[in-house]
């Protein structure tokens, strides 16, 4: 009784087809994933601006004016500097654009050289003392 064992395996053509399919899927998935990450990181700007607006309101309650510099945005009574000039994850730079006795405007822009710098859809965010939220695009605050 003779038993013939055939070796089983993939041919080079089958291997190349599998590599091509994986390459096509990766070419589609990686940019989509990167775009999703960029959109999700926008929350860093919105939460930082809302926290800064809250700090401005606290400052106003203590000082009867809004802070004109980030170093002042915590308290006029004790001079404590507690608000950084970047968002929590460092993806956005925060500024107080305008401040007066009656209103303020704070903004966030992507940190130069950071991962959000390529986000041209939402290149800037701002909020005023009246709660008006603006951005490069209407969907940025969503």
74 band by pLDDT with thresholds 50, 70 and 90: low
Distances (CA, A) of 32 to 28, 35, 37: 7, 5, 9
Residue 22 scores a pLDDT above 60: yes
**pTM for this model (two decimals):** 0.72
Q: pLDDT digits over 44-65, tens only?
A: 889 999 998 988 888 888 888 8
With pLDDT > 90 as the criterion, what percentage of the chain qualifies? Answer: 18
Q: Is the pLDDT of residue 81 over 50?
A: no
Any idea where the domains of the chain sit in the sequence?
Answer: 42-135
Query: DSSP letters of the chain?
Result: ---PPPP----HHHHHHHHHHHHHHHHHHHHHHHHHHHHHHHHHHHHHHHHHHHHHHHHHHHHSS--SSGGGSS-TTT------SB-TTSSEEEEEEEE-SS-EEEEEEEPTTSGGGG--TT--EEEETT--EEESSTTTT-
């Amino acid at each position: 009784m003779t038993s013939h064992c055939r070796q089983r395996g993939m041919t080079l053509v089958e291997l190349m087809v599998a590599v091509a399919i994986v390459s096509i899927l990766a070419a589609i998935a990686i940019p989509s994933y990167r775009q999703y990450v960029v959109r999700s990181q926008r929350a860093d700007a919105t939460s930082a601006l809302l926290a800064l607006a809250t700090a401005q309101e606290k400052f106003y309650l203590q000082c009867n004016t809004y802070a004109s510099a980030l170093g002042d945005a915590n308290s006029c009574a004790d001079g404590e500097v507690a608000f950084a000039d970047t968002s929590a994850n460092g993806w956005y730079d925060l500024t107080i654009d305008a401040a007066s006795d009656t209103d303020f405007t704070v903004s966030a822009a992507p940190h130069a050289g950071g991962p959000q710098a390529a986000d041209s859809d939402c290149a800037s965010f701002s909020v005023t003392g009246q709660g008006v939220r603006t951005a490069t695009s209407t969907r940025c605050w969503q």
